[in-house]
Amino acid sequence: MVDDLPRLEVEVRGPGLQAWVVADTTVDGAAMGGTRMTPTVSLDEVRALARGMTHKLHLVGLPLGGAKAGIVDGPVPRDATLRRFGTAVAPLLKGGIHLGCDMGVSPRDRCLFSTAAGYHVPRDVPRYPYDVDWEEYWAPLLDITGFGVATATTIAMDALRLPHPSRVVVQGFGMVGRALAAHLCDRGHLVVGVADRDGLVSSPGGLPVGALSAAADAHGSIDRRLIPDGLTVTGPGDQWIDLPADVLVLAANAHAVHDGNVARTQARLVVEGGNLCCTPAAKDALRARGVLVVPDVVANVGAASVGGCALTGTVPGDLGPAARRSWLFDWVATRIACNTRDLIDLAATDGDPLPRLLRDRESALAGSVAW
């Protein structure tokens, strides 16, 4: 059952360490979510991200609460900060709050703080159905979030009857941005712009996504020395919002679309492939112009889903690695497709469709988590 209790908020302070853990909800004492590590992360941001995790998990029908952690990336070496964080939050991890990866935290980083905490999956998660450890479970699933965002995007493209191929701009070229760009190209669409922290790479005829991915580091920065000839390269800023395109997929920082730039949006479809990519006011402005917004809690649920499936024992325990990957990709695609179509149907009426979709899914979860 969903526990009707105030959210749990823990602030962690120490030499060279400032962090927060927020459990927005718990279900039978359990919650899960990612760990974000940036120089600017704040308690308010972690609260909003934890609420988003609650919504993501409930929308796909998983009986888990939503949680999130934020670590300020400061002057202390990262590995030392992560270990200190793990030691400090060990009671929370062992008490039912599972923390994974998010912006700025890689699988290696998660392993560092989990090891420091003495927290181990499957040993500390009774419902985890495998003999393999967490890293082995996740190894073939690193593109699952990008796949899910691409699934939501293509379903929305079809619903809006956008042209095929559609022109797509991808803001953010980390793990999610690279994966969704590849999936969209595989489905015949043109990625005409890619933005990273250093600026914009664009071409009206479509970009060589594979070559750009090969030139990008783990954090999504494209090495300008390796960019193929014939592409347009501009410096830092939000020029990506000005590119003529049918679709804008946001896969980077929070509040990338806001009051100051929303009027410049060219696309008919905006998809939040990252977390909190549009401000609430920007979403209202886009809807008022007839632009469909697919929110993060509908599109960006791949990692939350496969993590939740493991922690709740939802995924069959007798599958080998290849069959397990196939099962999970099908599971994620089915739920994202259902939620995206229902969101679009609700968007045909006035107002924000997300609260109505959440009420429908949470009512179903309260009675049964079966689909």
CB 338 within 8 A of CB 313: no
Q: What's the rounded mean pLDDT across residues 186-195?
A: 98
Provide CB contacts within 8 A for 355, sequence distance 6+.
none
**Percent of the chain's residues with pLDDT above 90:** 87
Query: What's the pLDDT band for 354 if we cut at 50, 70, 90?
Result: very high
Residue 204: which domain range?
144-301+337-362
- Domain membership of residue 371 (yes or no) is no
Q: What's the rounded mean pLDDT across residues 167-172?
A: 98
In the predicted model, is pLDDT for residue 16 greater than 70? yes
Query: What's the pLDDT band for 368 if we cut at 50, 70, 90?
Result: very low
Q: pLDDT tens-digit profile of 111-150? A: 999 999 999 998 899 889 888 889 999 999 999 999 999 9
Task: Give the residue among 110, 103, 24, 129 at the shortest CA–CA distance from 68.
Answer: 24
- Domain membership of residue 16 (yes or no) is yes
In the predicted model, is pLDDT for residue 364 greater than 90? no
Q: Which two tokens stand for residue 42?
A: 């704040």
Cα 93 from chain centre:
21
The residue type at 320: G
In the predicted model, is pLDDT for residue 169 greater than 80? yes
- Domain membership of residue 306 (yes or no) is no
Q: What's the rounded mean pLDDT across residues 264-281?
A: 97
Q: Which two tokens stand for residue 299?
A: 């599109």
Q: What's the rounded mean pLDDT across residues 174-191?
A: 97
Q: What's the rounded mean pLDDT across residues 204-224?
A: 95
271 beta partners = 249, 294
Task: Give the residue among 117, 109, 153 at the shortest CA–CA distance from 333.
Answer: 153
202 beta partners = 193, 232
Please tell me whether residues 155 and 113 are part of one structural domain: no
DSSP state of 231: -
What element of type H or E holds 72? strand 65-72
* Number of domains comprising the chain: 2
Q: How far apart are the C-alpha atoms of 345 and 282, rounded to whole Å? A: 21
- Domain membership of residue 310 (yes or no) is no
Please tell me whether residues 289 and 181 are part of one structural domain: yes
Task: Please report, for residues 128, 130, 157, 197, 211, the alpha-carbon distance to residue 181 in angstroms, rounded to integers and kept in the order given.
Answer: 32, 32, 15, 17, 12
Q: pLDDT tens-digit profile of 291-339? A: 999 999 999 999 999 999 999 999 998 999 999 999 999 999 999 999 9
- Domain membership of residue 332 (yes or no) is no
Query: What's the pLDDT band for 371 if we cut at 50, 70, 90?
Result: very low
- Domain membership of residue 232 (yes or no) is yes
Q: How far apart are the C-alpha atoms of 326 and 286, rounded to whole Å? A: 36
**Percent of the chain's residues with pLDDT above 70:** 97
Query: What's the pLDDT band for 6 if we cut at 50, 70, 90?
Result: low
pLDDT at 1: 40
In the predicted model, is pLDDT for residue 4 greater than 70? no
Q: Which two tokens stand for residue 22?
A: 């927020």
Q: What's the rounded mean pLDDT across residues 258-269?
A: 97
In the predicted model, is pLDDT for residue 39 greater than 80? yes
Query: Tell me, what CATH number does 15's domain have?
Result: 3.40.50.10860
Please tell me whether residues 252 and 351 are part of one structural domain: yes
Q: pLDDT tens-digit profile of 216-257? A: 998 899 999 999 999 999 999 999 999 999 999 999 989 999
Please tell me whether residues 353 and 206 are part of one structural domain: yes
Whole-number average pLDDT of the chain: 93
In the predicted model, is pLDDT for residue 2 greater than 90? no
In the predicted model, is pLDDT for residue 367 greater than 60? no
Burial of 356 (0-12, 13-18, 19+ CB in 10 A): middle
Query: Tell me, what CATH number does 154's domain have?
Result: 3.40.50.720
Q: What's the rounded mean pLDDT across residues 6-21?
A: 91
Please tell me whether residues 171 and 295 are part of one structural domain: yes
Q: How far apart are the C-alpha atoms of 299 and 274, rounded to whole Å? A: 9
- Domain membership of residue 252 (yes or no) is yes
